[in-house]
Structure 1
């Protein structure tokens, strides 16, 4: 009962996150048919929720955690640390989801669906890394100041806990560094799966994409000589590495990387 307000806010933040995340995923799947009004509403909703939360707890300066500073809380016990870390984690999710909403609002003639997919992928990876490092100052301050044991023993145990925490964080960082470098390489190199098909080649294929069953949009000719829309085949190769028609294995720079550019989800630690 002493933490009923914090628990209620936590439930509210979780509900907000689930609603906004599901809505963003649905809008991404709609591609060019996504509702700009709904995306704008999600952006305003996430921004308003974050500002209202920080305004309500202005005296605690919870926003300090976003820039790796300690909030102005005189005494932090275990539950207060969980509160600060949890609030900051949700706000970071809202922040990066807001960036995704902003990308959704960009007209298709300024940024193609495939380019948006690369941006979603990069944002998701940046979000994971930022969320990994943000709670370090708060937890480290709590562990160093551990006072469950009195005297030198308590101080030594606190230092040991703090060092162990930093080591685990470094191991986690280096464990994900390879994936992060691959994401950066893919984002900047924008790998292609084939060459642009000519009008004659498209005519020979009846000008119909075998995946979407519509007229070719930016047709790509694969090594097996089959033609598909660039966006269609890009989404296909996120799941399969073979031609949809002849099952020929197509080599590309995305082998061994399991990112799906279309799925926009915020993973939790």
Structure 2
């Protein structure tokens, strides 16, 4: 019995390290490709898409007897009885697979030519996909933990079973508060996604010539130049890339926007939604 528990523990640790390594590699690669803009590697993006898909399918095939993929559609896997470590195992794997799925979608958006979708528009798509991913991960763990709490003590005394039901109801109440509390952030992201606000106005030829027709970010001639409220001029794509991480003008540090710009660089949050 002890050897079996040790073996299961080692499998869990190994799979966890593998998933974390895969995530870190794919996340770093996607962010780098987004930063390269038109110089990104299509082959690298296709490889990442195939790699993430293959890892997810291999994981579910290896543990096909447990039907772990059921949790993706809010159903319970084939684990009887469901113990605490089983629930944690299912939720953890599901969280990583959902991240892989949305990272694959980001790769697909990255592959769209810039003539069809600008880099600024892609940034809003990355941000929206990341918000949907986090919200989905928050919801998808609910049936697993609810079932675990309901089954708590079912094999022992009736009093412990009733205690499990009370814990399940308490869990649902806390989860509802958590989900509704997160809605404000999600609503702000969706509003930004649909409005896609601009950071300034189109610069005139005179304003560009006064700035010597050189963008301070890319050190090349202006491409679709826009002038900020502080009167500094940049290429539209350059300044959008800058505002993926910053909120101030790169020259004078004037605050340009108070909008949420997180994850517009294609990054994926490492936070595990295990609750």
TM over 0.5: yes
Q: Does 2:17 align with 1:14? A: no
Which one of the candidate residues 117, 122, 126 is aligned to 2:128?
122
Structure-2 residue corresponding to 1:84: 90
Which one of the candidate residues 249, 267, 270 is aligned to 1:267?
270
Structure 1 unpaired stretches of 5+: none
Structure-1 residue corresponding to 2:223: 217
Q: Does 2:203 align with 1:178? A: no
Alpha-carbon distance in structure 2 between the residues aligned to 1:8 and 1:225: 55
Q: Does 2:42 align with 1:30? A: no
Q: Which has the higher contact order (CA 8 A, sep 6+)?
A: 2
Structure 2 unpaired stretches of 5+: 1-5
Q: CA deviation at 1:149?
A: 8.2
Which one of the candidate residues 2, 24, 44 is aligned to 2:7?
2
Could you report, residue by residue, the CA deviation over 1:180-207 in whole angstroms, capped at 9, with x for unpaired residues?
0000000000101221123333233221
Equivalent residue of 1:228, what SS? Answer: strand
Could you report, residue by residue, the CA deviation over 1:144-198 in whole angstroms, capped at 9, with x for unpaired residues?
1101784331122101111121122122212211110000000000101221123
Provide closer, same or farther for how the CA distance between residues 233 and 154 of structure 1 changes in structure 2, counting only shifts above 3 A: same
Q: Does 2:50 align with 1:44? A: yes
Size of the alignment, in residue pairs?
Answer: 266
**Farther off after superposition, 221-230 or 183-192:** 221-230
Structure-1 residue corresponding to 2:145: 139
Provide closer, same or farther for how the CA distance between residues 15 and 223 of structure 1 changes in structure 2, counting only shifts above 3 A: closer
Could you report, residue by residue, the CA deviation over 1:128-150 in whole angstroms, capped at 9, with x for unpaired residues?
10100101001100101101784
User: What's the Cα RMSD here?
Assistant: 2.0
Q: CA deviation at 1:85?
A: 1.1
